[in-house]
A and B are shown apart, each in its own frame.
Chain A
Amino acid sequence: MSEAVIKCENVYKIFGTNAQKMLQEANGNVDAKTFQENGCIVGVNDASFEVSKGEMLVVMGLSGSGKSTLLRCISRLTDATGGKIFIEGQDLLKLNNKELINLRRNKMGMVFQSFALLPHKTVVENIAFPLQIKGIKTENSISKAMDMVKLVGLDGRENYFPRELSGGQQQRVGIARSLAVEPDIWFLDEPFSALDPLIRKEMQDEFLRLQEKLQKTIMFITHDFDEALKLADRIAIMKDGIIEQLDTPANIVLNPATEYVKKFTEEVPREKVLTIEDVMDKTNSESSDLKVLKDEIIENVAEKILTQEKSVSVIDQDNKIVGSINPSKIIQTVFGGRKSNS
């Protein structure tokens, strides 16, 4: 496995005047209640994880769970109270102001929930802004920004002002701006939360298309579990500053680690999340002629499998049989086991 692009070790963020001192005294055992009694609020509590190159980690949690705070620690918009954060091996908390600015100018891009566009600049000027801040000549930055405008499909609107655009279009500008410096690391803080459901779906698809093309290392924040399932390589579920579970979507749905996580998974249409591989039997029993690919989402092949009476063989990309699946298993996955996880 390649080296982690983002690496967090025991990151804490505690708000309050005595935070530093109290954290030292707590000695790694931070209890939100005792801290609150002393006038401190725990934002992030002992977060450790890695994100490897090209991976998309979605941090999911309800409001106040500390997900945005965690992201701001990693982008160092706020300083973590304790722990270590490494960006491509560099210790983020040890960087001085100049190095930090350099890192942001070349390595990081960020998209915000409320778009955060500059109201006095046009679409193309907004996108060119990070480039101009770097000191790139106006002409070059504008032509680069025009490429970005095309990438997010806003051609023809490059001279509009943010006030003249719809929410979805504004967020396209936000996305284009964050990509203008061609960063390796891409932070997205609830980018689609402020949009209408239909636009949101459209933007999610667009986002997946972009990621297919660009292969960035991504931290994506959302409060929408469905969105997390749709986009993530891995999901981290946060509650009260603590990461409750960090795993692939399928594993989270199949094996929720805590009661809290389970509450989210109960309502999830499993056939839309799980692949054949997740539910197949590893043994190869007697089977019909039909073969299905192990990476298929259940929903897409369920109808085909249910027409068969016997089990269906499961194959991998190389056409090798790796297991089988019985039609009854499909029915069980779709309808059964919602209440109790069998």
Chain B
Amino acid sequence: MEIYLPIAEQSMNVFVLLGLGAAAGLLAGMFGVGGGFLATPLLIFVGIPPTVAVASQANQVIANSISSLQVQWRRGNVDLRMGLILLLGGMLGSTAGVSLFTYLKRIGQIDFVIAVLYVLMLSTIGLLMLFESLRTYLRRRRNPEGPRGKLHTHYLVHRLPLKLRFYKSKLYISALLPLGIGFGIGVLSAILGVGGGFVLVPAMIYILGMPTSVVIGTSNFQILFVAANVTFLQAATNGTVDVVLALLLILGGVVGAPVGSRLAARLSGVVLRGLMALLILAVATELLTDLLRTPGSLYSLAPRDMAP
């Protein structure tokens, strides 16, 4: 069954879009990521113009986040204070990011920036997570009763001023840290059209040292607002949000998200992190191959609205 997407200006199979949405929703529920980092490249692959894919995906992330957040909130897995500070940084970051996106689009280098940023971020994060989870997993198998070590290690970043207590996360750290992380993720989120969860989740685990149980809910809380901000700014400045496309992705995601939450509850933290690492690496490899392989066609057209 085909449906015409009014902003993407082409017709597309409804079930392909529902399936894509379901996959993104599953990831949102399972790992606390928006799922955009997987769905955006896939949307581009099936022929949606990259600018529309990025903006409409941000719209879907809103729905995925609120859907997962319903569950997480009830379980008390949201650190509101941490979430609000991350959010403040995220708002500033995504506003800066949309201006950057508009600028890059004008000079025609948006494809390059998107591709290179994706590959760099995904491969770095994927590798780090994979090694960490493998090491933890092996250590636990060898020595299941052994010392767990400190709850989290102390780095230079912990000497920053403006220290605050985060009770749910059991942390006493500088507010500047989550603020900065939030800002970086906001910029990414605007340019890549992803909620930024795949960077935020590892950052919360490894940099902030938050307990894994609180991470998914808090990440979803922050992503919800950042994605809403990106959707608004993309619609207002670039006019690239396709609500028909977004609605189909959302309907798929609504089915996927709770399934993911349930799966996540059954798996241990370390297995969950390992799986996420593998997934991130697979996407990075695919994107890198794309950049390295001799393209079928050397030519492409810039989006029409770029031309004055």
Tell me, yes or no, whether A binds B: no
